Structure 1
Amino acid sequence: MLFVTHLAAAALLGRWSRLAPLWLVAGAALPDLVDKPLATVGVVDLFHSVGHTALLAPLAVAVAATGLRGTAVAVGWASHLFLDALHIVINGRPGDALFLAWPLVTPPDPLAIPPGDFFFYYLWSPSFFLECLLWIGVVAIVVSEVRTRRETVTRGD
């Protein structure tokens, strides 16, 4: 899934929860902000490693225990992992979802595609269309919010 879509999904999650959207978005950004640079400079071989492992769940629980902001960060992080695993399975590579158990398990044939090249690989995949639907939802919500605010201003509420 594309980085910006993780951020949008976390912001949407903030609309339907009592968690702060800013902290949800921060948590959703973390896996890629950690893993993409590490893989790009060769510290790790995979673009889904340190920040994408579900083995960090105890750390996420500890962060969540710090309060609502920590909970939002942990939920944002978990949403990123869920969406990445979902998109991998939808695209017909369920074995690659083993990234969730990194470093205990490594996917048998992971895509070792840098983020820029990944975009072109990803276009027109089944998961790409799911992502497009998510963005249509985002646009619909934004348009609805703008209309509601205009009507409120016009009425003088």
Structure 2
Amino acid sequence: MLFLTHLLAAASVGRWSRLAPLWLIVGAALPDLVDKPLAMAGVVDLYHTVGHSALVVPLAVAAAYTGRTGIALAVGWGSHLFLDALHIVVNGRPGDALFLGWPLVTPPTPLAIPPGEFFVYYLWSPSFFLELLIWTVAVGIAVSDLRRRSAARRPDSDEQ
């Protein structure tokens, strides 16, 4: 999934939960903020490594024990991993979801392409259309919320 969609998903979780949206968004951003620079600097060969590894779950659990902020960070991070795995499966590459087991296992045919090239590759894939659906629903909900709030602030014309 694209980076902004991860942030949108985390903000959506914040809308329907009692967790702080800011920390959900930070947690959802972490995997890419860790892995993309490492790969671009040549430290690792793939763009899904330590930040995208499910083997980091013990750290997420430890963070969750620090309180609501830690829970929000862990949930945001987990949502990122879930959406990336879903994206890979929807695009017909379920074996590549092995990125979740890095460094113990690596996908058989990982996409080792930088983010800019990935975007071009991603356009018109099945997951791209799933992502369009997610954004369409999110925009629809936002517009509905704005209309409802606007209507709630308007005085009734019958009262005059």
Other-structure match for 1:28: 28
Other-structure match for 1:4: 4
* Aligned equivalents of 1:108, 1:119: Cα separation in 2: 21
Identity %: 73
Other-structure match for 1:135: 135
Report the AA paired with residue 67 of structure 2.
Answer: G
Other-structure match for 1:109: 109
What are the within-5 Å matches in structure 2 for residues 1-157 of structure 1? Answer: 1-155=1-155
Cα RMSD for the two superposed structures: 0.9
* Aligned equivalents of 2:58, 2:114: Cα separation in 1: 29
Structure 1 residue 16 displacement after superposition: 1.1
Q: Given the two structures, how large is their TM-score scaled by the length of structure 2?
A: 0.95
Structure 1, unaligned runs of 5 or more: none
- Matched residue of 1:140: which SS? helix
Report the AA paired with residue 39 of structure 1.
Answer: A
* Aligned equivalents of 1:145, 1:59: Cα separation in 2: 36
Count of aligned pairs? 156
Structure 1 residue 144 displacement after superposition: 1.1
* Aligned equivalents of 2:76, 2:89: Cα separation in 1: 20
* Aligned equivalents of 2:141, 2:20: Cα separation in 1: 17
Report the AA paired with residue 141 of structure 1.
Answer: I
Report the AA paired with residue 51 of structure 1.
Answer: G
Larger radius of gyration between Structure 1 and Structure 2: 2
* Aligned equivalents of 1:40, 1:142: Cα separation in 2: 35
Q: Given the two structures, how large is their TM-score scaled by the length of structure 1?
A: 0.97
* Aligned equivalents of 1:121, 1:70: Cα separation in 2: 35
After TM superposition, which residue ranges in structure 1, 4 or more long, deviate above 3 angstroms? none
Structure 1 residue 109 displacement after superposition: 1.2
Structure 1 residue 145 displacement after superposition: 1.4
* Aligned equivalents of 1:18, 1:128: Cα separation in 2: 30
Report the AA paired with residue 53 of structure 1.
Answer: S
